[in-house]
Amino acid sequence: MATAAATTGTDMDHPFRQEARDWLEANFDPALRGKDNAMSAVDGPTEETPEQKKWREVMGEKGWGVPTWPKELGGGGLDRAQARILQEEMARIGAWNPIGGMGVMMFGPTLLEYGNDAQKQQHIPGIVRGEVRWCQGYSEPGAGSDLASLQTFAEDKGDYYLVNGQKTWTSGGQWADKCFALVRTDKSQKHAGISFLLIDMDAEGVETRPIRLISGQSPFCETFFTNVKVPKENLVGREGQGWEIGTRLLQHERNSLSGGGGSAGRMNAGTTVPEIAKKYRGTDAEGRIADADLRTRIIKHEMDQRAFALTLRRAALEAKGNAGPSAATSIMKNVGARITQDRAELNIEIMGMQGLGWEGEGFTEAELAQTRSWLWGKAVSIYGGSTEIQNNVIAKRILGMLDHQ
């Protein structure tokens, strides 16, 4: 994350900087430094403390949790320069964004592009205030990488759709209030038969079953829809436009993931790799990491991580107007996933046997957390579209390589 120290010239003198600094210092409780969004835990939301709740409420009221979203819908209404300054000032005092989740990462930006006025008025304010949790209904047991093969069917019943089918890998489905889902409204066409539908998770006929992962956590679900009635006004865009809308949403997701959002970002927080190495491997007479080969590999990792952060910032600075993410997010997503996994592998290697603990005495809480993060991080190159799928996107849409018959 950029810091105020990294800015120069005009940015430091920008009139918005003092406004942001004054508001944050008046509203962010210093006791919350080093803590995190209670709604962002990998294994489900934790109970908010009164201080966390107050911070979420004031940030939601200000709209600065989604700083560039339209002010008339509750967002911050800031331009990109102001949003960057806000991020820098938050980093300066150790403040974190209490507004997040799939509503911010994926659904909200997509609805702003494709939703009608009534849908925006109905759904955006709840996302802005961090009051409504969303989940994603995309993958199915027989439609993962080939998502267009999905079979969940929404039958037209006049003033509502009757939805039947199954989704899998529904992140946070057991805690979500609502689901944005790709469903089939026409069985005669593959891509053109898909529509984008909003489903209440407490509707009759919706059932979730958590999936336990190798890390011991259960952030994903199987989700079943049995004769679920969904009002026609919950259709985003038009029938058959779901593939277009769903693909756009994935670009927003990859853009967020490549920037260290979500759980990948949390894995990169806290103690640095050099600090861990010095603790577990010791230092030489000059205070350097004792193992020269390990030191070289850590330096390369730190360089990659810093170069990636600077590339992300440059991309943000070069963005024009309100243009959203492009196919280039596939590159960023792949690189971000590799760096996140490289860090976890390095930490496990550095910690040796202390990095392989699952439970029991002889391990610190941080050591056990590192082991589980390492295991959980194997999913980073899968969710949001696997590395292989991103490589296909890069080859076709960026490099211009076409399939050869």
**Please, are residues 185 and 240 in contact by the beta-carbon 8 Å criterion?**
yes
Q: Helices in 80-191 by DSSP H: which ranges?
A: 80-93, 102, 108-114, 117-128
Of 213, 248, 233, 19, nearest in space to 111 by CA: 248
> What share of residues in the chain are helix, strand, coil (percent, to 5)?
50, 15, 35
Cα–Cα dist 143/190, whole Å: 12
Length reported for the chain? 405
Burial 332-344 (b: 16+ CB within 10 A, else e): bbbbbbebbbbbb
* The two structure tokens encoding residue 119: 């849908």
Cα–Cα dist 396/299, whole Å: 34
Cα–Cα dist 190/175, whole Å: 31
Catalytic residue flag (residue 359): no
Catalytic residue among 51, 204, 253, 302: 253
**Please, are residues 298 and 370 in contact by the beta-carbon 8 Å criterion?**
no
Active site residues: 253
